[in-house]
């Protein structure tokens, strides 16, 4: 159901509105009123006739007006009843602020199930429970209990944590950052991140999206939505609970079970998400987004009155692959004309320790006017002749005038630079305390821009497996047959039932035992390699005697594989579907961990890009003048594997280890399928 | 010469002292006077009779009193004359503030050479030129022109960049951080970082050391000094100019030629330095050091009113290998007794969004009193019922009372948390804006503590090579002989002069051409492998015909090597001496870049630790139940190589590639020595 009415309601009821300033029900109503909300407001209070000067009702049922949105802020045990009353009154959009649901477990979990049932029954949009509420600056609506003003901006923020919302709003006020939409999704019993991401696709008030998430229940819908969204607007997400310890902490915090982190990261890559590592990066990105301009290229100019920090910054840019392009000779002349002769004009530009505001202004003006550098990074440390405040004013003025360039400043220090930082912020300059923050953000956005062009919409290609997960291994010969069915070449394999079967083989061969409990064949002494002749083969078969006695086990023989060993496979994630994995095989596999994963919806381009990400790719391509390996057929293998994974939803896991990659042809030598 | 008098002078002259507030000569004198310096002060001014109320002289030569330290702050062209006058007047310690020396090139470079000559001639301690000066809070001396007070602390700071000094002092004032010594070493014409590190070894006023450096001219002395220093006091260094672009920028900024970054990093490892990645990390470490306590273990307790940020923080701790240990049952009981039942007591401890100051206080008190956790990390986001200020007061009080624990707080947000952050800082709590900063610093100090126990003093074992660097390859057979001389086993190698020499060989063999210009043998078609018999050998020899015609080239034959391929070698750095390198060889070498470097002063322990750092180490140790490779002899090889490098100072570079590592024995198959 559309959430347009939810975000832009023409009338709002607050169930649990209060005259007591300490109550959340007061703060919510106060925020709605004080931010120039233009629709009708209906407080609901059991006792008071008026709340905050507005006529109140004892019950939502008694209002008898069309209400677009109800905000419920009463103890958890009474919430379900009120939701039902809202439904009866024809209200389709509800925010449940109240806590005491799944996050407390037990009875709370039961309460949340009830809410979900009511939402399904009456087709309700419900935000929360256990949330801070929602702000839509475009609709002049602040339906949160945060102590925040409705500053407009082009960034939408969605968070699963109310605490993160509080910190962001408090910080944003101070940094003069605005939002288009600001949504605390709480326990997301009904509406979740995907509903809002979907809305943001066409939201003309939003250019950039940032989110804080602890779990993504519907990974497929997430990828469908965000792969489209990030083609239009950059989307940065901090996913908490990435480590197993963090996931454990998240579980007890939100009552939500996080999916596999590997799957989430593959989903992020598939959807073109800017993956944020920590809260500081999230705040940095918010600040960056709030003031960044159209980005034409990754070219960075650096200006500084401080040689040391400038050198350290050039180091960071270089490490991030954002090497400095020098100024053109024409630009150098123009800059030299407005600077003292002692300044050695080039990029990075050291204005020297005694640089005045005028010097900064002159240099910056020339670069902004007469070059195509998308980013100018201005550094300053407060030195004896620095005009810190005046410099910040000059930079701010120039930034306002040159709207096509992103001006980032890092004024390092303490008290001496605080006012300047405020002036910079007010002038739409991105002001970071340290230059490394600027470099990180330029890097992130440059990577995003690079990836964006190749991004295709993701289309859900799996449904949750319905059959019972048995966790058992499929029969070996059947597994090979399954591979063949999907066009995956395998090494010819002969089942050895008796000694005489060994006679007809062409040596050298590998012999191995297969069976449900034979997983680590080397450790289990279930494999013999480089068998040269029939005698050695008999010996091997006799060594297998004990294993052969186990019901279901049997022996197979294959010619010895030749070529480079790789491993490929997939693992099915409940939320993101099958995750394809490919990497280096052989003795180095487990140790070098040169393995990459991607979502299973492979085409030529995506399969090739997966292979290109491997450290071993230069070897595949033909290192040191050697002939290239058969990359075309590795790509084909991955695509076929992806098809197999999508079609066979009862298969939980599949490993081909090793697959032999030759100069012509790619052959699976061993396979393990878990269903 | 001792710099004790330099740091604790009983009398100071300021040459270029001024009554003009805008002049640096004013600021310097003002700083000396206003920070309660207790010795005699002598301003030198050409015109004024008095400066800042103190009787002035027209020349240093006219003072006729014992002067321990002269600060020179006059135009560069006059400085050398004044230095000479100081020497004549028996002054041994000089700070040259003035700029206009090697950093401007040309005539400046000449001026600096002159200063060095004078220092050598008269045995002078000279700080600078082109520096901010020096603060010694223990001696109540502030001989800088920074706008900073002399707050005492236990941290010494040494910086090659005056601009970094300005920023640090400004920041420190704001963060209420003090220093023991604060030294701006500028162009370090005479005194450099090593002189101060050496002094700090025995400085009772200093417990911790932080430095910002752009080049280290005498790496050997650096390692000698700092390997001793960091066994007593942690030393954190930001080395700028690490990238080639950064080094280029540094060159034009300080006029200094940075050494190889690889060598510097190896030197840092050898000396037990905490390597800082960027300025933000440097400031974070300064803050951390300023308030950190005795660290007994790496155990971290986390307390939060914000589930989301808590989860994100647990992720970071987990990624840093600082997994959370849960509270003991006894502690849990004690904490539960003072908290509401709704709080689920464990580590991390979620106090829930409505946590009051009292709740924070009760929980923190129990952890500090009744556990051995060295670190407690307290998180807060400002929520509707948060008592931000009161919480910070409670934490600060507890931190002051519990001096054996390090309390770190991260109050996230804007205006709502600023006052609290100040209160935390004033109460000796380490206050970071974001929890990732805390995690980074705990990680750094934990790694330092771990490494410290194994740290041995470094002793200079090389002198700069005096012979001409020819950049030529040593003859191949001579190179093998050189290896053998140092106990390095080589694969038996036969020089093939004529076809008939091939008859007596045992096949299979490898044949290769060697010679001064044959470096990339594969690319140059100078190698043939897996030669099975005499016929193939003849064919190979005939393929080499063209190469054999080149003067000095000749052909050698070796049995085919068996085992795992590694590469080892060394490269001589002017400043840090030979740098030993070891890593994975073969086809993966260039691609996987599994190579580690360490300073050439190898013993068993250090050689083994170098090997252990390789990604391939698990393979060497015997992966998947295979027999281990001959690690003992790899260690021996590295030690022998180190000896060779130290003894043969004319060798610039040596590569053994490959060396075949077997289960018993390690054999060099190819070698290249550049002298």
Q: Give me the interface pTM, i.e. the ipTM.
A: 0.90
- The model's confidence at residue A259, banded by pLDDT at 50, 70 and 90, is low
Q: What is the pTM of this model?
A: 0.92
Instruction: Choose the CATH number for A1-132 among 3.40.50.720, 3.40.710.10, 3.40.50.11540, 3.30.70.270.
Output: 3.40.50.720
Contacts B412 to A, Cβ<8 Å: 167, 171, 279
Overall size of chain B counted in residues: 675
Residues of chain B with CATH 3.40.50.261: 151-291, 294-452
- Determine, for residues B615 and A592 on separate chains, whether the beta-carbon distance falls below 8 Å: yes
- Determine, for residues B171 and A414 on separate chains, whether the beta-carbon distance falls below 8 Å: yes
- The model's confidence at residue B251, banded by pLDDT at 50, 70 and 90, is low
What phi, psi does B595 have (nearest 5°)? -135, 135
- Determine, for residues A315 and B242 on separate chains, whether the beta-carbon distance falls below 8 Å: yes
Residue B482 CB coordination number (10 Å): 18
- Among B160, B588, B625, the residue with its CB nearest the CB of A588 is B588
- The model's confidence at residue A255, banded by pLDDT at 50, 70 and 90, is very low
DSSP A104: G
Q: What is the pLDDT of residue B591?
A: 72
Q: Are B460 and B220 in contact (CB under 8 A)?
A: yes
Residue in this structure with the two tokens 């999230």, named with its chain if needed: A282
- Determine, for residues B413 and A159 on separate chains, whether the beta-carbon distance falls below 8 Å: no
The two three-digit tokens of residue A108, written as one number: 């709370």
Which three-class secondary structure state does DSSP give residue A432? coil
A317 touches chain B (CB under 8 A): yes
The two three-digit tokens of residue A401, written as one number: 């005038």
Residue B578 CB coordination number (10 Å): 28
B492-559: CATH number: 3.30.1490.20
Which three-class secondary structure state does DSSP give residue A401? helix
Residue A483 CB coordination number (10 Å): 21
- By CB atoms closer than 10 A (0-12, 13-18, 19+), residue A123 is exposed
B1-131: CATH number: 3.40.50.720
Residue B281: its H or E element: helix B279-291
Chain A nearest-CA distance from B209, in A, is: 19
- The model's confidence at residue B145, banded by pLDDT at 50, 70 and 90, is very high
The C-alpha angle A389, A395, A401, rounded to 5 degrees, equals 140
Task: Give every strand in the sheet of A181-184, ordered side by side.
Answer: A141-144, A133-136, A181-184, A155-159, A208-213, A235-239, A274-276
Residues of chain A with CATH 3.40.50.261: 151-291, 299-436
Which three-class secondary structure state does DSSP give residue B336? helix
Q: Following CA atoms B255, B261, B265, B266 in sequence, which dihedral angle do they give, to the nearest 10 degrees?
A: -110
Q: Which conformational region is residue B64 in: left (phi greater than 0), alpha (psi within -120 to 50 degrees), or beta?
A: left
- Kindly calculate the radius of gyration of chain A based on its CA atoms and give it in whole angstroms: 31
Q: What is the pLDDT of residue A64?
A: 92
d(CA A342, CA A363): 14
DSSP A137: G
A278 touches chain B (CB under 8 A): yes
Mutate to test the interface with A, among B176, B276, B311 (most CBs of A within 10 A): B311
How far is C-alpha B308 from the geometric centre of its chain's CA atoms?
35
Contacts A523 to B, Cβ<8 Å: 624-625
CB neighbour burial string for B258-281, b if at least 16 within 10 angstroms, e if fewer? bbbbbbbbbbbbbbbbbbbbbbbb
- Determine, for residues A146 and B310 on separate chains, whether the beta-carbon distance falls below 8 Å: no
Helices B604-612, B631-647: crossing angle, 10 deg rounding: 120
Q: What is the pLDDT of residue A180?
A: 97
Which residue does chain A place closest to B438, by CA atoms? A280
Chain B nearest-CA distance from A62, in A, is: 30
- Determine, for residues B245 and A324 on separate chains, whether the beta-carbon distance falls below 8 Å: yes
Contacts B443 to A, Cβ<8 Å: none
Q: Strand runs (DSSP E) across B97-207, as ranges?
A: 125-127, 133-136, 141-144, 155-159, 181-184
DSSP A561: P
Q: Are B516 and B472 in contact (CB under 8 A)?
A: yes
- Determine, for residues A163 and B523 on separate chains, whether the beta-carbon distance falls below 8 Å: no
Torsion sign across C-alpha atoms B180, B184, B190, B194: positive
- Determine, for residues A414 and B172 on separate chains, whether the beta-carbon distance falls below 8 Å: yes
d(CA A140, CA B415): 23
- Among A27, A248, A381, the residue with its CB nearest the CB of B166 is A381
Residue in this structure with the two tokens 């944003």, named with its chain if needed: A172
Q: Are B568 and B610 in contact (CB under 8 A)?
A: no
B151-291: CATH number: 3.40.50.261
Q: Which of A515, A512, A472 is nearest to A493 (CA)?
A: A512
Q: Which of B550, B545, B541 is nearest to B499 (CA)?
A: B541
Residues of chain A with CATH 3.30.1490.20: 492-559
Q: What is the 3-state secondary structure (H, E, C) of B42-74?
A: EEECCCCCEECCEECECCHHHCCCCCCEEEECC
Q: Following CA atoms A223, A228, A234, A237 in sequence, which dihedral angle do they give, to the nearest 10 degrees?
A: -20
Which three-class secondary structure state does DSSP give residue B577? strand
Residues of chain B with CATH 3.30.470.20: 564-674
d(CA B388, CA B379): 11
d(CA B563, CA A49): 89
Q: Are B360 and B395 in contact (CB under 8 A)?
A: yes
Beta-bridge mates of residue A378: A303, A409
d(CA A231, CA A224): 12
The two three-digit tokens of residue B449, written as one number: 């503590």
The percent of residues in chain A predicted with pLDDT above 90, rounded, is 82
Which three-class secondary structure state does DSSP give residue B128? coil
d(CA A536, CA A399): 79
How far is C-alpha A251 from the geometric centre of its chain's CA atoms?
19
CATH 3.40.50.10800 assigned to A564-674: no
- A257 pLDDT above the threshold of 50: no
- Determine, for residues A414 and B307 on separate chains, whether the beta-carbon distance falls below 8 Å: no
- The model's confidence at residue B225, banded by pLDDT at 50, 70 and 90, is very high
Q: Are B8 and B39 in contact (CB under 8 A)?
A: no
- B172 pLDDT above the threshold of 90: yes
Residue A319 CB coordination number (10 Å): 17
pLDDT in tens, B429-482: 999 999 999 999 999 999 999 889 889 999 999 887 666 677 889 999 999 999
Residue in this structure with the two tokens 């990359």, named with its chain if needed: A631
Q: What is the pLDDT of residue A636?
A: 98
Q: Which of A286, A262, A263, A290 is nearest to A276 (CA)?
A: A286
- A308 pLDDT above the threshold of 60: yes
Residues of chain A with CATH 3.40.50.720: 1-132
Which three-class secondary structure state does DSSP give residue B163? helix
Q: Are A270 and A230 in contact (CB under 8 A)?
A: no
Q: Are B153 and B290 in contact (CB under 8 A)?
A: yes
Mutate to test the interface with B, among A381, A386, A421, A624 (most CBs of B within 10 A): A381
A246 touches chain B (CB under 8 A): yes
Q: Following CA atoms A631, A636, A640, A642 in sequence, which dihedral angle do they give, to the nearest 10 degrees?
A: 60
Which residue does chain A place closest to B350, by CA atoms? A253
What phi, psi does A362 have (nearest 5°)? -60, -45
A173 touches chain B (CB under 8 A): yes
Residues of chain B with CATH 3.40.50.720: 1-131
The two three-digit tokens of residue A190, written as one number: 């009904």
Beta-bridge mates of residue A490: A668
What phi, psi does B57 have (nearest 5°)? -115, 155
- B186 pLDDT above the threshold of 70: yes
Query: What is the DSSP secondary-structure string of A265-334?
Result: HHHHHHHT-EEE-SHHHHHHHHHHHHH--------EEEEES-HHHHHHHHHHHHHTT-PPPPPPHHHHHH
Q: Which of A377, A371, A374 is nearest to A327 (CA)?
A: A371
Average pLDDT over residues B280-286: 96
Chain A nearest-CA distance from B317, in A, is: 9
How far is C-alpha B425 from the geometric centre of its chain's CA atoms?
27
Q: Which of A587, A261, A277, A579 is nearest to B587 (CA)?
A: A587
Q: Which of B107, B87, B11 is nearest to B54 (CA)?
A: B11
d(CA A125, CA A4): 10
pLDDT in tens, A479-530: 999 999 999 999 999 999 999 999 889 999 999 999 988 887 877 889 999 9
Among the residue ranges A114-128, B454-468, B488-502, the one predicted with the least confidence is B454-468
CATH 3.40.50.261 assigned to A299-436: yes
B591 touches chain A (CB under 8 A): yes
pLDDT in tens, B399-419: 999 988 999 999 999 999 999
Among the residue ranges A53-62, B250-259, B282-291, B539-548, the one predicted with the least confidence is B250-259
B294-452: CATH number: 3.40.50.261
d(CA A90, CA B620): 72
Contacts A104 to B, Cβ<8 Å: 342
d(CA A145, CA A27): 5
- The model's confidence at residue B258, banded by pLDDT at 50, 70 and 90, is very low
- B255 pLDDT above the threshold of 60: no
A423 touches chain B (CB under 8 A): no
Which three-class secondary structure state does DSSP give residue A376? strand
Q: Are B134 and B126 in contact (CB under 8 A)?
A: no
């Amino acid at each position: 159901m559309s959430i347009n009415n939810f975000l832009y309601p023409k009338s709002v009821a607050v169930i649990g509105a209060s005259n007591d300033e300490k109550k959340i029900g007061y703060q919510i109503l106060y925020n709605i009123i004080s931010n120039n909300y233009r629709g009708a407001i209906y407080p609901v209070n059991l006792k008071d006739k008026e709340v905050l000067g507005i006529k109140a009702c004892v019950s939502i049922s008694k209002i008898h007006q069309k209400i677009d949105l109800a905000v419920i802020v009463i103890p958890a045990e009474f919430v379900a009843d009120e939701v039902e009353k809202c439904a009866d009154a024809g209200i389709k959009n509800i925010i449940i602020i109240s806590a005491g649901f799944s996050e407390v477990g037990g009875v709370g979990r039961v309460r949340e199930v009830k809410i979900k049932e009511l939402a399904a029954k009456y087709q309700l949009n419900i935000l929360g429970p256990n949330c801070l509420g929602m702000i839509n600056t475009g609709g002049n609506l602040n339906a949160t209990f945060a102590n925040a003003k409705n500053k407009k901006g082009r960034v939408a923020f969605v968070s699963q944590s109310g605490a993160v919302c509080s910190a962001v709003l408090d910080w944003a006020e101070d940094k003069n950052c605005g939002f288009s939409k600001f949504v605390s999704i709480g326990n997301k019993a009904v509406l979740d991140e995907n509903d809002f991401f979907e809305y943001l696709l066409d939201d003309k008030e939003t250019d950039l999206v940032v989110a804080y998430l602890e779990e993504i229940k519907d990974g497929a819908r997430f990828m469908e939505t965000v792969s489209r969204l990030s083609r239009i607007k950059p989307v940065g997400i901090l996913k908490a609970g990435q480590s197993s310890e963090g996931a454990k902490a998240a579980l007890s915090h939100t009552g939500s079970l996080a999916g596999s982190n590997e799957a989430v990261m593959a989903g992020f890559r598939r959807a073109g998400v800017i993956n944020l590592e920590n809260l500081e990066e999230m705040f940095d990105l918010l600040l960056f987004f709030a003031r960044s301009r159209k980005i034409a290229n990754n070219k960075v100019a650096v200006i500084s009155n401080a040689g040391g920090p400038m050198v350290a910054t050039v180091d960071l840019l270089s490490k991030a692959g954002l090497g400095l392009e020098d100024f053109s000779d024409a630009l150098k002349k123009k800059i030299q004309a407005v600077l003292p002769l002692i300044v050695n004009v080039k990029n990075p530009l050291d204005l020297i320790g005694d640089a005045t505001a005028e010097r900064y202004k002159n240099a910056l003006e020339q670069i902004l006017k007469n070059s195509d550098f998308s980013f100018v990074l201005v550094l300053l440390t407060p030195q004896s002749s620095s005009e810190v405040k005046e410099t910040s004013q000059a930079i701010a003025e120039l930034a306002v005038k040159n709207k096509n360039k992103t001006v980032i400043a890092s004024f390092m220090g303490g008290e001496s630079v605080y006012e300047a930082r405020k002036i910079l912020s007010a002038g739409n300059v991105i002001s970071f305390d340290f230059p490394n923050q600027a470099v990180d953000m330029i890097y992130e956005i440059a990577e995003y821009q690079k990836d964006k062009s190749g991004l295709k919409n993701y289309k859900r290609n799996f449904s949750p497996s319905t059959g019972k997960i048995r966790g058992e291994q499929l029969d070996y010969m059947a597994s090979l047959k399954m591979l063949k069915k999907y066009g995956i070449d395998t090494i010819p394999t002969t089942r050895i039932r008796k000694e005489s079967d060994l006679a007809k083989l062409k040596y050298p061969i590998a012999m191995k035992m297969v069976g449900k409990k034979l997983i680590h064949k080397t450790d289990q002494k279930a494999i013999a390699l480089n068998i040269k002749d029939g005698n050695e083969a008999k010996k091997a078969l006799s060594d297998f005697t004990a294993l052969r006695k186990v019901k279901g086990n049997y022996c197979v023989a294959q010619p010895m594989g030749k070529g480079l060993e790789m491993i490929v496979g997939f693992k099915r994630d409940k939320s993101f579907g099958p995750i394809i994995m490919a990497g280096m095989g052989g003795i180095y596999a487990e140790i070098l961990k040169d393995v990459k994963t991607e979502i299973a919806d492979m085409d030529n381009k995506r399969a090739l890009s997966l292979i290109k990400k491997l450290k071993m790719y230069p070897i595949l391509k033909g290192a040191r003048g050697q002939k290239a390996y058969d990359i075309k057929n590795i790509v084909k293998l991955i695509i076929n594997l992806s098809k197999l994974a999508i079609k066979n939803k009862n298969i939980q896991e599949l490993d081909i280890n090793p697959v032999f990659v030759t100069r012509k042809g790619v052959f699976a030598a061993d396979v393990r399928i878990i269903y």
